Structure 1
């Protein structure tokens, strides 16, 4: 379980195909001794399991296996050495819930259709997959590339968010461009509310 508050920006060091999955090594600033095998780390949105970790050349790293389902639903196929990825470690009991409840189970890809930079801020408009658009509401929450963001506006399958200078500084959002696909996880409560509505007689 996560909150969508990015705690580090990692860098892809290597990508190794292994049959139907890929093994990815990610450089990070987390102390190597604190990264346990089997730990869950949200990597650009999807929750992935640490299968190896260590340190070399003064930098910590961890490795994750990205399986077929994740490859099909996320932008992980675009990960190449040098790509920067938003990271968040899983919640501990007692941690501050500063964003919203994020599971790390990406629903699909949203596409950036417009970017407007002003006053050191950035407004980004996205097009959501039609099947997911109904879960996105004005003033509601979404997780995009692992970042908890508030929806500013919604029109059909288009929605926008506003990124403040701090978010642009501590995440990869300053690097995104029109046409990029980003990992989208809709709000958990919206998903359950829709399901409950469907089952009402």
Structure 2
């Protein structure tokens, strides 16, 4: 489990395809604190550390992950949001995040609001995912609050600190993002369908 509060940024230093798998080498200041078999969220995608060499570690994404996320869009020198799994007993500053991306979305607008930045995203509704006004959403691993919730669109407001310390600072209109919808909302929606 994760909280959606980004711990640090990493830089992609290697991308290698191996059959249907994708191996990513990430350079980060937390690498020396990691261990093989540890889970780390990369733009909200939970991946397992499989190798560590100095300040670079390797993770592997399988076809299922590649098909449902934007992980295959990553290239050398791209910046990624990183968060290690939360420790039981830690504060939960964001919301409960599984690191299991539900689908991707697309940034459709970025607007400066004199102190914050509003990002608007669209997504397809064919998977039954929904947002609710003032509910939680995870975008590329960042826990955020939804407003302007519509059937296939929503907005979030980013404070300057979050903008500067996450990959949001590099986001552009048409960027493809990972979306993890609120886990509690998903269960409620599933129960009401039955």
| Both proteins in one fold, TM over 0.5 | yes
Secondary structure of the equivalent of 1:77?
helix
Provide the C-alpha distance between the structure 2 equivalents of 1:10 and 1:96, rounded to a whole number of angstroms: 23
Indicate whether 1:119 and 2:114 are aligned. Answer: yes
Q: Deviations over 1:81-118 (max 9, x none)?
A: 10000000001111110000000000111111111013
Shift of 1:8: 0.6
Moved more, 126-135 or 5-14: 126-135
Q: Deviations over 1:1-31 (max 9, x none)?
A: 0000000110000001111101110011115
Provide the C-alpha distance between the structure 2 equivalents of 1:31 and 1:112, rounded to a whole number of angstroms: 30
Paired position in structure 1 for 2:189: 194
Secondary structure of the equivalent of 2:126?
helix
Paired position in structure 1 for 2:3: 3
Kept in 1, the 8 Å contact 2:129–2:186? The answer is no
Provide the C-alpha distance between the structure 1 equivalents of 2:30 and 2:84, rounded to a whole number of angstroms: 9
Change in Cα spacing, 1:138 to 1:167, as seen in structure 2 (3 Å) is same
The 5-angstrom pairing of residues 1-201 of structure 1 reads 1-32=1-32, 34-55=33-54, 60-132=55-127, 134-199=129-194
Kept in 1, the 8 Å contact 2:129–2:181? The answer is no
Moved more, 128-137 or 116-125: 128-137
Unmatched tracts of structure 2, length 5 or more = none
Aligned-residue CA RMSD (Å): 1.1
Provide the C-alpha distance between the structure 1 equivalents of 2:17 and 2:121, rounded to a whole number of angstroms: 30
Shift of 1:120: 3.7
- For normalisation by structure 1, the TM-score amounts to 0.93
The number of residues matched between the two structures is 194
Structure with a larger share of its residues in strand: 1
Change in Cα spacing, 1:134 to 1:19, as seen in structure 2 (3 Å) is closer
Shift of 1:174: 1.3
Provide the C-alpha distance between the structure 1 equivalents of 2:22 and 2:29, rounded to a whole number of angstroms: 23
